Chains A and B, each alone.
Chain A
Amino acid sequence: MLKNIHSQKRVQLLFGFLIGIVFGFLLQKGGVTDYNVIMGQLLLEDFTVVKIMLTAIVVGMIGVRILITFNLAELHPKPGSVGSSLVGGLIFGVGFALLGYCPGTVAGAFGQGALDALLGGIAGMLIGAGLFAALYTRLEASILHKGDFGTKTIPELLKVNPWIVIAVATPLIIALLIWIETAGL
């Protein structure tokens, strides 16, 4: 039944749109479509972004693993390498701080009226993505596969059951969140 739903193109486009609406609604209610909140995080004054992300990770990590246990979902880990994940991540970080939005929240920021998100952020991202497509062949041949580790997950790397990693990571993340709260951040 699930495979059938997954293969219906129009239904999937509608699902994407509806899930996007809920995602945008949540991001806006969380305050993270606001430049001031994101810069507060990067200046280490306001930890709203980290609180939202870590909570989403804990809930999603457990939820998706339950779905997999009952054969109701499959994982799609992205491939990575030192050359792509690390270098690309740092370039992304510089852009993240200059813009004050990320690719999802820039769309949400535009939705709540931020013109810098549209004229600077969205316009710039289209240029940046186009630039990457133009340089892709050269980058792929030179740096993108340096130190390749494929689509490995942490449990595969450590050769343990995924539930063990979840059982260790969950209390650690909760402890970190409690520490952030008690520090008043």
Chain B
Amino acid sequence: MEWLTMSQWSPYAVGAGIGVLSCLAFFLSNKPLGASTAFARTSGMIEKLCRGNKTLEKAYYKKFKPTIDWEWMLVIGIIVGSFISSHLSGEFQMFAVPEVWRQAAGDSFFLRWLVSLAGGIMLGFGARWAGGCTSGHGISGTLQLAVSSWIAACCFFIGGIATAMIVFRILLAS
């Protein structure tokens, strides 16, 4: 069982595993793997706590009801699965500023938090705008050969690479 405690597996083994898992999700649950609607539903649940049932009148929450569903449980499962994996390999570690960011922008958690919050907002906004994320479009949609998903997935990386280059090669390089 040594493979369970290894810190990293070959990306091809992991990719093949995710491909098989996608098939399993289609077979057992009639669902493609995806993550971003869970965040929209949670956001709706929080809003419902604050504003009450008026929240449910929003057109978007009629389409994506703010309740716990299959995909919501999947995202909770991702947290648990990653915890188990990192715990088994001894890689689990609490930290606030990741290494590549620290080298480029310094130790300040406040700065990292501001940028990650801005990134999170755009990610949540963009994922719902595009109707999916790196899992829902990038893996599940592309493997179904959906036109929308191939376009979205390419744009995720075009936008991501351009932004990363501007931030790390220009703004933080000096």
A contact set with B: CB distance below 8 Å: 2, 5-6, 12-31, 33-36, 39-40, 42-44, 48, 51-61, 63-64, 67, 72-82, 84-100, 102-117, 119-134, 136-137, 139-140, 144, 149, 151-155, 157, 162, 165-166, 169, 177
Contact = CB atoms under 8 A, between A and B. Distances in A.
B82 A128 contact: no
Contact of A77 (B100, B129, B141, B153): B141
Contact of A125 (B27, B47, B80, B124): B124
Nearest to A131: B125
Contacts of B130: 80, 84-85, 87-89, 91-92
A52 to B, nearest CB: 4
Given A95-B126, A127-B120, A57 B14 contact: no
Contact of A23 (B6, B78, B133, B147): B78
B81 A20 contact: yes
Nearest to A113: B94
Nearest to B99: A36
A128 B120 contact: yes
Contacts, number: 539
Interface in B117-174: 117-165, 167-169
B24 to A, nearest CB: 7
Contacts of B116: 98-100, 116-117, 119-121, 124
Interface of B: 6, 8-9, 11-12, 14-33, 35-36, 38-40, 42-44, 46-47, 58-61, 68-86, 91-101, 109, 112-165, 167-169
Given A89-B152, A103-B39, 18 more contacts: A21-B81, A22-B17, A29-B8, A44-B161, A53-B142, A60-B19, A60-B139, A73-B23, A73-B26, A77-B149, A97-B159, A97-B164, A108-B82, A111-B78, A112-B86, A116-B113, A124-B123, A177-B12
Given A39-B164, A116-B113, A157-B147, A126 B39 contact: yes
A9 to B, nearest CB: 9
DSSP majority for the A interface? helix
A90 B143 contact: no
B169 to A, nearest CB: 8
Contacts of B18: 23, 26-27, 52, 55-56, 59-60
Nearest to A148: B148
B118 to A, nearest CB: 6
Given A23-B21, A98-B163, A116-B96, A75 B144 contact: yes
B114 to A, nearest CB: 8
A99 B123 contact: yes
A115 B78 CA distance: 16
Nearest to A92: B126
Contact of A33 (B59, B75, B82, B156): B82
14 contacts: A23-B77, A25-B81, A26-B21, A29-B14, A55-B16, A60-B18, A88-B130, A89-B155, A103-B127, A106-B120, A108-B79, A125-B120, A153-B144, A157-B147
B92 A112 contact: yes
Given A13-B73, A51-B11, A93-B163, A25 B137 contact: no
A124 B117 contact: yes
B134 A104 contact: yes
